[in-house]
Structure formats: C-alpha cells, structure tokens
Structure 1
Amino acid sequence: MIKNLIWDFDGTLCNTYPSIIRTLKASLKDFGYIVDEKEILSKVKITLGEAFDYYSNKYKLGEKLSKRFAQYTRLPKERPPYNFVVEVCELIIDRNGANYIITHRDRKSTFEILNYYGLATFFEEIITADDGFAKKPDSEAFNYLIKKYGLNRDETLGIGDRELDIKAAKNAGIKSCYFDEFGMPTETKPDLEINSFLELLQLLENGL
C-alpha cells in the first residue's frame, strides 16, 4: 500500500503550463517571433530551461528571452492545483503517510503559490532549487527524503509529468507515476500512468 507521495510541482501538483506557455509565447512575440503553443509545450515538457536554451539559440536572443519572460506578471491565481490533488494529499495523510515536494522551482515562488491555495500544510517537506540538490533525474533529493524520514521504498510513489520525474523515481528505487495530461508518452516506462488525479484517488481508495 502506498503511504508516501513525492510530488513534482509544475505541471503535476499545480497546473502551471497554460501560464508558462502564454508567457513564453508573448515573450517571443515581443521579439517578432510567432511560435505555435504545441511546439512550446513540447520544449517546456523537457524543462523550462530547455525551452529557453532552444529559443534563445534559435533566434539568437541570448539572455534577453529569459529576462523578458521574468518581466511578465506571474500571479499565483494563474497556477491552480489540479482537481483532486487536495483529496489525494488528504487520503495519504489519513493513512498516516506523508506528502513531499521536489521541484526545480525557487522557494519563493513555490511557497507563494502553495500559500495562496492553502496547500503548504499538506506537505511534510518541500525541496526547491534553493536547497542545492542535484536536479532530476538525479535521485539525490529523493534519497535524502527517504533516509531522513525512514521511508519504505515499496510504500513510496514519485509523481511527475516529465521523463526526468520518472527516471528520478526509478533511480531512487521507488515506484513511479506518470501524470500524462497531454497524451505524450515517455520513453521510460512508469509503474503507473494516470490522466487525472481522480484516477489516482480511485486507485488509492481501492488499495494501491
């Protein structure tokens, strides 16, 4: 039975993709480039850094693109949690388990969003880019949580929406869950694949 969840943040816990895609599209448009949203999504799904590198190199923008992106207002209300995320977190806590977050996002913006939606209290520990761990797919942050809290690997599930999330969970020796909102399969096969968090909630309620 799964008692512990290690969540990714962007595109998993909170629906940040629409805002990120709109902002990156607008930033590129400011420099005179019209880019299809599906193409932007395919780059952002790798990492946001990958998207910046790709478009900065393609259009020879250097750091101007990331600076323009940062100038746009990033409001927490544009980054809501996915439906049934709260119910999943509550179920895990009711099992005497715990929820954790490992994200490449900085601490300030992570907590701005979590606190805006009243989510921070659902998590035992939240690891952000500011904590200095190696980035996923490296499992360093996962192993830190497993050791610190004495987590049973067989009872721990890592949830994410990207290839690197699945690889990180597997590298840590825990079960992996791929949240496939857009119908974009990964090369690395996850232990579990879901299209919504209602689906995960029902699986947990039925004994996962």
Structure 2
Amino acid sequence: MNIKTVIFDLDGTLIDSRKDIAVAANKTLSELNLPTLPEDTIASFIGGGVDILVKRCLGEQNMHRFDEVLQNYKNNYGQSCTVYTTLYPGVKEVLAFLKKREMEIALATNKVISLSEKILEHLGVRNYFSVMLGPEHVKNRKPNPEIINVLLEKINTKPEEALYVGDSELDILCGKNAGTHTCAVTYGIASIESIIEADPDFIITDLKKLILLLA
C-alpha cells in the first residue's frame, strides 16, 4: 500500500463518547417526561448520526415528539459532551506517528464538526487534523461515499492512496464505496460479526497496530 492519507471515523474509533451521549439522552428524556433507557442500550444506537439516535431512543410510540426531543438533546449534549469522553488507548501515539511520517490526517464523521472540534480540542489532538468533515458538509450519510469523495477532493488524494479507519459496517462500506483501503477496529460500538460481514481490508483490536500496518 502506498498510503498518503489516513481518514478516521470519530465515535467508537478515536473517542469513547458513550457515557456522555447516554447521560445527555436520558437527561433529555427525563426532562420531557419520557421513559429513560439503560446506558448500554443508548450506546448501541450511536453511529448513524443524531437524528437516528433520537429516533431509536423515542421508539415509534413517541415519535410525534421527535423535533422537541432532538432540539433538547442537542442543547444538553452540546453543554456536556466533554465530561466523560476520552480518547481510546493509542490514539495520541498513532496520530503522532502519522504526523512524523508526514501523512495527511483527516476526519469523516456523522457528528457535527462544531462538536467534533470541541471534543478533540478538549482532548488535545485537534491540531493533528488537516481536514474534518461532518454531516453538514454532505447530502448523503454513510455508507454513501460522498463524505469521503468530498474529503479526498479537498486534499487532492486518490482513493487508492487513502485508508479509512472506523468501527462499524457503515464506515467500512463507506470506504469501500469510495474506493479507499479500509481498516476496522474491534473495540468500538459495532459488533465484531457486523464488521466481519462488511469485509474490511484489515481488522485490528488495538489502534496502535495501525503503526505496524503503515510502517
């Protein structure tokens, strides 16, 4: 592989944001007199973007309150998105390695960029990323390849020169649809079974193994 650009997903790949998301979701549900959910259940809803998260939290019986809940959740999460969120082990080492190798480091996420930047700034790694794209930059969500296509065009990189690293089948299919190499991490939110079914080029259990892949 002649990799010049490494593109990362965010939640479940670089950051463990499950508790902050679950706390904000349950705070919202409680404030609006709706039933709360176990944190693990809410965590399983992460990955498809905030709209899907809220819809899954509500269920069909409360979907008529979607707009109200969505706005309240955005407010609550925006105020508390850095309370419990941490980097996964090895993230700083991998980003430093890529920077030393003069590789382009980019982010393609379903989380809005204002929140992504706030979290990465808080965790001390924002400056590693040359390009960050979120749902506000595209019309189609993953696994549609639009977010990768737009990103690669911005940094003038061919798909075969890029590696997309993510924790879910949506990430892997997005990368494959865009023509990039793909690498799945197993420590995130998605099940190993769904990752295997997506058939990534590489599967790693620890992000630091990316250093061996790219060395």
Partner of 2:41: 39
Q: Deviation at 1:47?
A: 4.1
Partner of 1:13: 14
C-alpha distance 58-163 of structure 1, shift in aligned 2 (>3 A): same
Structure 1 distance, partners of 2:50, 2:6, is 24
Determine if contact 2:145/2:174 at 8 Å carries over to the other structure. yes
Most deviating of 59-68 and 85-94:
59-68
Structure 2 distance, partners of 1:75, 1:47, is 15
Percent identical residues: 24
Local SS of the residue matching 1:130: helix
Structure 2 distance, partners of 1:69, 1:107, is 17
Is the counterpart of residue 111 in structure 1 residue 112 in structure 2? no
Structure 2 distance, partners of 1:172, 1:145, is 11
C-alpha distance 152-95 of structure 1, shift in aligned 2 (>3 A): farther
Q: Deviation at 1:98?
A: 0.9
Structure 2 distance, partners of 1:67, 1:47, is 14
Determine if contact 1:166/1:177 at 8 Å carries over to the other structure. yes
Q: What are the superposed Cα offsets for residues 112-154 of structure 1, whole Å, 9 maximum, x if unpaired?
A: 1222223222111111233235321111221223234332433
Equivalences for 1:1-208 in 2 at 5 Å? 1=1, 2-30=3-31, 31-60=33-62, 61-72=65-76, 73-181=79-187, 184-185=191-192, 186=194, 187-204=197-214, 207=215
TM-score relative to the length of structure 2: 0.81
Structure 2 distance, partners of 1:192, 1:29, is 41
Most deviating of 160-169 and 78-87:
78-87
Determine if contact 2:49/2:110 at 8 Å carries over to the other structure. no
Q: What are the superposed Cα offsets for residues 31-81 of structure 1, whole Å, 9 maximum, x if unpaired?
A: 352423333222224444223112324341433332342343324243222
Q: Deviation at 1:109?
A: 1.5
Determine if contact 1:46/1:163 at 8 Å carries over to the other structure. no
Local SS of the residue matching 1:87: helix
Q: Deviation at 1:29?
A: 4.2
Matched residues, number: 205
Structure 2 distance, partners of 1:199, 1:29, is 41
Unaligned runs of 5+ in 1: none
Unaligned runs of 5+ in 2: none
